[in-house]
Amino acid sequence: MAVEEKEMPWVGRSVKRKEDDRFVRGGGNYLDDIRLPNMLHMAILRSPFAHARIEAIDTSAAEAVGGVVAVVTGELLAQHKLAWMPTLSGDTQAVLATDKVRFQGQEVACVVATDPYVAHDALELIDVEYEPLPVIVDPKKAVEDGAPVIRDDKEDQKDNRIYHWEAGDKASTDRAFSEAEVVVALDTHYPRSHPAPLECCGCIADVNPATSKTTIYMTSQAPHAIRTVFALVTGLPEQNIQIISPDIGGGFGNKVPVYPGYVVATAASLLIGQPVKWIEDRTGNLASTGFARDFHMHGELALKRDGTMLGLRVGMLSDQGYAYADAQPSKFKAGLFHVVTGSYDMPAAHVVTDGAYTNKAPGGVAYRCSFRITEASFLIERLVQNAAYELGMEPVELRRKNFVRPEQFPYTSVTGFVYDSGEYAKALDVALEKSGYEQLRAEQERLRAEGRLLGIGVASFTEAVGAGPSRDYDILGIKMFDSAELRIHPTGKAILKLGVKSQGQGHETTFAQIVAGELGIPPEDVTVQEGDTDNTPYGLGTYASRSTPTGGAATAVVARKIREKAKQIAAHTLEVSADDLEWEGDRFYVKGAPEQAATIQDIAFAAYTNHPQGMEAGLEGVTYYDPPNLTYPFGTYVVAVEVDAQTGEWKVRKVVAVDDCGVRINPMIVEGQIMGGLTEGFAMSAMQQITFDEDGNCMGSNFIDYLLPTAWETPAFELHATVTPSPHHPIGAKGVGESATVGSPAAFANAVVDALAHLGVRNIDMPLTSGKVWEAMQQARSS
Amino acid sequence: MANKTISVTVNGGSKTSEVEPRRLLVHWIREALGLTGTHVGCDTSSCGACTVLLDGTPVKSCTMFAVQADGRRVTTVEGLQQDGKLHPIQEGFKEEHGLQCGFCTPGMMLMGAALLEENPDPSEDDVRWAISGNLCRCTGYQNIVKSVQWAAKRAASEQPGAHA
């Protein structure tokens, strides 16, 4: 077995992770582990009110505390034109509040001190006088006529509406509905959640007073884009700004945006002339940084009686909090939510989206999904199950009947996506077989007769990940390509520098394997460097499952360029024509004379010691890869749950996940991503949500109130694969980091609803807590 | 309140220093000793990223004052390896892909190591229960369970008299 594994090609092999050794020794280098000489510490004072006018701020007592170096307020920042900053969706948000606070937890002032304990002591001595204002926590009320305008700081803002964006075609969809024999509707709220990576956000800003060089260590998933934003916001010359993202303790979208703490720490370091560290606490993280979801969705599916889908109509209202702060491709106001036709050959669709301001933290970020696809996938997969009930069809047969068929690819959806490849029925079949679906259905029948509730939920999702292409995708105008720079050293070892940035996804191993696959340099000989903007080529970072589709592709392309040059060098050293050479694994050999060969290591040495006259020395290259299309991973998840008929509690009995993400570079890492995503899907369906009371108090601002699943609740997972390569990716791979978060919430919710379907239950909004499940059963029984 | 001098045996070596009575153990370990493998994840004893062993028992070091460790024995992740050789639990996490971002990993490994001291052959449920005070946001726990069980097997095979 071990021998077989060793003989496998590098791409497709479960190589143990190169990064693990330092982590298991406690040698990771996370933001808070970095200490600079003369470093000061910053803490943030947050608003206790969700909406209030700031009447006065008295910082004198705080400034008098021994060890306090500075107290920064919005007023001070305003003098430097830094009180407000742009968001990644082109809106604005306050760095420190000047006129009003607009959500509970908003940043009001910062203390910079010699010790973090002292900084926190001093926060308590800042006296802020607030005049409370009416609070809006419900986006539906926010968009009513006469609602108080939350963003009255913006001159042209006369209400609480942010955007109105439509996709698809209204006329053809209306026609489809007029011809429909059956229409199924669903109203559901995808609740506000928070990515909650285990490491909170933070930074160390180090502005060197002598050279003006600004180095900012930052928990950022997108260091290059952040550098550009910083240059634009502060006016600092971009070549003097270096962003370094060290090891990151999880991101999931939470570490994409620019946060006020980063900006204040940088301003403070500039003014004081010493490094300033800011480490967010958990309450700050949950209450103020990029939340996720909070979509109020209405869907209608039009069908023929035989199950043929005719059209889809979707209305969505997004609660964005007080600032529209998604990291969003600028063309698509609600992200890629319009991929809501999912895996189905839908003849017509019309999607209407609106965004609203409320008195909540700004956001929301795409939490482990490609720009709001989780919400879309959830809606269509819930609708399809309800349609099956309405038609009296087996839900999986309704899916199968309407899947985009293999021969239809590339498939252009009515909302404008061009699906690259897929074999949806194949993945479904594997899932049905491996889960014992038919036996589960039979058992469900048997148990119902005994009064026991077994539910089986299915989701057949399709994702759209890996932005660019740059013609469609940009953040604040910066095109969404990505890059790779590969340098082969004289001894045949290599360094690969990337514009993306791992937060645990295993880039140091996966991308080294791509180099190994293309050039035969073993992964252990390839160092992968990311996150340092002075020492990596420009890129848009890691989120939306884009690293392998873009950075991985760039790696393969640059390695192939280098192989072309290597061929010329080999021809020179072997004294043959390049046309007489063949590549195999890690070497060029002379056709018909395989013993005459030059390995990549031989060639690398020659590139610096014996390169042909007229050729540049060295063996390195850089590629900026603009993908021709997104990649479209897909799969089918089957979940079986048993619901307690008395209490509404439910337990997962089985999770079978079949994922098709094209070619798997490192199957072990891919499966790790899928299991993590399944857990977050389970979490959202079962427990994770952040609510607010009517005064705008955040009810989920610590891990006691905001529930995350532990090992005890989390079910075991059974994983399977089908492989349908992406036709346009250089090695046929698709993104996968978020597939399970996108696909699985509907499977869990479908399973619980399915357990109660015979009682007439058709919907329970997430999270499906035992209380809500019990209520649904009670209502169904009494009606 | 006046500072207090404490003496703690950390990873086998004696450490003496003067601390503020309010200084949390995790901050003393990280700042005074420079042992940054112990992490802070939540501030409320919920996540376990700060787990260390106190006289062999796992504790959340964000919920203890440094002065409470005076005269006692603390093991952090940096103390798991012996003479440069990884502890079986460390090898297990590498072998079974038991970590992704690595932030929860030190706490998880210390919980696992403590479990194996008490129960050298834990079932899946035993492991899940033992680590249920520690949160992981990346792995979904399944491979952490496998990592601990891998370590159990390795430790058993390394016992004198065990069949290799």
Q: Are B41 and B104 in contact (CB under 8 A)?
A: yes
Band of residue A5 on the pLDDT scale cut at 50, 70, 90: low
- Does A711 sit within 8 Å of B144, measured CB to CB? yes
Give the single-character DSSP code of A531: S
Which among A23, A117, A281 is the top mutation candidate for probing chain B, defined by the most B β-carbons within 10 Å of its own β-carbon? A23
Average pLDDT over residues B18-46: 97
- Does A199 sit within 8 Å of B41, measured CB to CB? yes
- How close is the nearest chain B Cα to the Cα of A42, in Å? 16
Q: Are A514 and A522 in contact (CB under 8 A)?
A: no
Q: Are A348 and A176 in contact (CB under 8 A)?
A: yes
Q: What residues of B are in contact with residue A281 (Cβ under 8 Å)?
A: 43
- Does B138 sit within 8 Å of A250, measured CB to CB? yes
Q: What residues of A are in contact with residue B30 (Cβ under 8 Å)?
A: 32-33
Q: What residues of B are in contact with residue A503 (Cβ under 8 Å)?
A: 101
Q: What residues of A are in contact with residue B131 (Cβ under 8 Å)?
A: 710-711
pLDDT at A746 over 50: yes
- How close is the nearest chain A Cα to the Cα of B2, in Å? 15
Give the single-character DSSP code of A220: -
pLDDT at A56 over 80: yes
> Is-same-fold flag (A422-467+630-783; A482-625)?
yes
Q: Is there a domain that residue B123 lies in?
A: yes
Tell me what percent of the residues of chain A surpass a pLDDT of 90: 96
Q: What residues of A are in contact with residue B111 (Cβ under 8 Å)?
A: none
Residue A275 backbone phi and psi in degrees, to 5: -65, 140
Per DSSP, the three-state class of B137 is coil
Residue in chain B closest to A667 (alpha carbons) equals B97
Q: Report the residue from A505, A680, A708 with minimal CB separation from B135.
A: A708
Band of residue A4 on the pLDDT scale cut at 50, 70, 90: low
Are residues B60 and B12 part of one domain?
yes
Check residue B163 and give its pLDDT.
52
Q: Report the residue from A25, A117, A506 with minimal CB separation from B81.
A: A25
Q: State the total domains in chain B.
A: 2
- How close is the nearest chain A Cα to the Cα of B27, in Å? 10
pLDDT at A1 over 50: no
Distance CA A503, CA A249 (A): 6
- Where is average pLDDT lowest: A6-15, A299-308, A764-773? A6-15
pLDDT at A3 over 80: no
Amino acid at B106: P
Q: Are A693 and B122 in contact (CB under 8 A)?
A: no
- Does A717 sit within 8 Å of B142, measured CB to CB? yes
Buried b (16+ CB within 10 A) or exposed e, A367-383: bbbbbbbbbbbbbbbbb
Q: Name which of A170, A746, A737, A728 is nearest A419 in CA terms.
A: A728
pLDDT at A61 over 70: yes
Asked casually if ipTM beats, i.e. exceeds, 0.90, the reply is yes
Query: From edge to edge, which strands make up the β-sheet containing A127-132?
Result: A100-101, A52-58, A127-132
Average pLDDT over residues A331-345: 96
Check residue B164 and give its pLDDT.
43
A576-625 per-position pLDDT tens digit: 999 999 999 999 999 999 999 999 999 999 999 999 999 999 999 999 99
Are residues B62 and B17 part of one domain?
yes
| A32-35, Cβ contacts within 8 angstroms, sequence gap of 24 or more | A32/A199, A32/A202, A32/A277, A32/A279, A32/B30, A32/B36, A32/B39, A32/B40, A33/A246, A33/B30, A33/B36, A34/A204, A34/A217, A34/A246, A34/A277
Are residues B105 and B61 part of one domain?
no
- How close is the nearest chain B Cα to the Cα of A391, in Å? 36
A689-745 per-position pLDDT tens digit: 999 999 999 999 999 999 999 999 999 999 999 999 999 999 999 999 999 999 999
Half-sphere exposure of B160 (CA within 13 A, CB side): 0
Taking residue A269's Cβ as centre, other Cβ atoms within 10 Å add up to 27
Are residues B68 and B10 part of one domain?
yes
Are residues B13 and B58 part of one domain?
yes
- Does A20 sit within 8 Å of B47, measured CB to CB? no
- Does B106 sit within 8 Å of A26, measured CB to CB? yes
Give me A595's structure tokens: 């013993």
Q: Which residues of A are catalytic?
A: 221, 368-369, 738
Which among A18, A24, A120 is the top mutation candidate for probing chain B, defined by the most B β-carbons within 10 Å of its own β-carbon? A24
The CATH classification number of A482-625 equals: 3.30.365.10
- The β-bridge partners of B9 are B14, B73
Residue in chain B closest to A710 (alpha carbons) equals B132
Quick one: fold of A31-133+195-288?
Answer: Aldehyde Oxidoreductase; domain 3 (3.90.1170)
- Does B43 sit within 8 Å of A282, measured CB to CB? yes
pLDDT at A6 over 90: no
Band of residue B162 on the pLDDT scale cut at 50, 70, 90: low
pLDDT at A2 over 60: no
- How close is the nearest chain B Cα to the Cα of A384, in Å? 28
Left (φ > 0), alpha (ψ -120 to 50) or beta: where does B110 sit?
alpha
Q: Is there a domain that residue B59 lies in?
A: yes
Q: Which residue has the tokens 């926010």?
A: A142
**CATH code of residue B98:** 1.10.150.120
Q: Are A463 and A633 in contact (CB under 8 A)?
A: yes
Q: Is there a domain that residue B83 lies in?
A: no
**β pairing state of A68-73 and A107-113:** antiparallel
Are residues B107 and B55 part of one domain?
no
Q: What residues of B are in contact with residue A221 (Cβ under 8 Å)?
A: none
- Would you list the domain boundaries of chain A? 31-133+195-288, 422-467+630-783, 482-625
Give me A489's structure tokens: 């050293």
Give chain A's mean pLDDT: 97
Q: What residues of B are in contact with residue A668 (Cβ under 8 Å)?
A: 97
Q: Name which of A30, A33, A25, A23 is nearest A506 in CA terms.
A: A23
B115-134 per-position pLDDT tens digit: 999 999 999 999 999 999 99
- The residues, ordered by sequence, that sit 6+ positions from A259 with a Cβ below 8 Å of its Cβ are A201, A280, A288, A289
Give me A633's structure tokens: 């991973």
Band of residue A526 on the pLDDT scale cut at 50, 70, 90: very high
- Does B105 sit within 8 Å of A678, measured CB to CB? no
Counting Cβ atoms within 10 Å, is residue A189 exposed (0-12), middle (13-18) or buried (19+)?
middle
Are residues B33 and B69 part of one domain?
yes
Residue in chain A closest to B134 (alpha carbons) equals A710
**β pairing state of A309-319 and A349-356:** parallel
- Does A248 sit within 8 Å of B106, measured CB to CB? no
Q: Report the residue from A28, A703, A711 with minimal CB separation from B131.
A: A711
Distance CA A683, CA A700 (A): 14
- How close is the nearest chain A Cα to the Cα of B38, in Å? 7
Q: Is there a domain that residue B47 lies in?
A: yes
- Does B22 sit within 8 Å of A711, measured CB to CB? no
Q: What residues of B are in contact with residue A282 (Cβ under 8 Å)?
A: 41-44
CA A159 to chain CA centroid, nearest Å: 30
Q: Report the residue from A198, A503, A708 with minimal CB separation from B49.
A: A198
Are residues B102 and B66 part of one domain?
no
Q: What residues of A are in contact with residue B135 (Cβ under 8 Å)?
A: 198, 703, 708, 710
**CATH number of A422-467+630-783, picked from 3.50.50.60, 3.30.365.10, 2.60.120.650, 3.10.20.310:** 3.30.365.10
Q: Report the residue from A506, A704, A711 with minimal CB separation from B132.
A: A711
Are residues B95 and B69 part of one domain?
no
- Does A21 sit within 8 Å of B128, measured CB to CB? no
**CATH code of residue B29:** 3.10.20.30
Domain extent, residue B119, equals 88-156
- How close is the nearest chain A Cα to the Cα of B160, in Å? 26
Distances (CA, A) of A127 to A109, A124, B150: 10, 8, 56
Last residue in a domain, options B53, B76, B99:
B76
Average pLDDT over residues A195-217: 97
Residue in chain B closest to A682 (alpha carbons) equals B140
Average pLDDT over residues A79-93: 94
Check residue B44 and give its pLDDT.
96
- How close is the nearest chain A Cα to the Cα of B90, in Å? 6
Q: What residues of A are in contact with residue B142 (Cβ under 8 Å)?
A: 675, 714, 716-717
- Quick check: bond before A457 cis, omega within 30? no
Q: Is there a domain that residue B33 lies in?
A: yes
- Does A117 sit within 8 Å of B128, measured CB to CB? no
Q: Is there a domain that residue B115 lies in?
A: yes
Q: Is there a domain that residue B10 lies in?
A: yes
Kindly calculate the radius of gyration of chain A based on its CA atoms and give it in whole angstroms.
Answer: 27
Check residue A259 and give its pLDDT.
96
Q: Name which of A748, A689, A738 is nearest A369 in CA terms.
A: A738
- Does A504 sit within 8 Å of B141, measured CB to CB? no
Which among B1, B124, B138, B145 is the top mutation candidate for probing chain A, defined by the most A β-carbons within 10 Å of its own β-carbon? B138
Are residues B70 and B25 part of one domain?
yes
pLDDT at A448 over 60: yes
Q: Report the residue from A252, A672, A680 with minimal CB separation from B97.
A: A672
| DSSP class per residue in A432-455 | HHHHTHHHHHHHHHHHHHTT-EEE
Q: Which residue has the tokens 């607030």?
A: A130
Average pLDDT over residues A124-152: 98
Q: Is there a domain that residue B162 lies in?
A: no
pLDDT at A55 over 80: yes
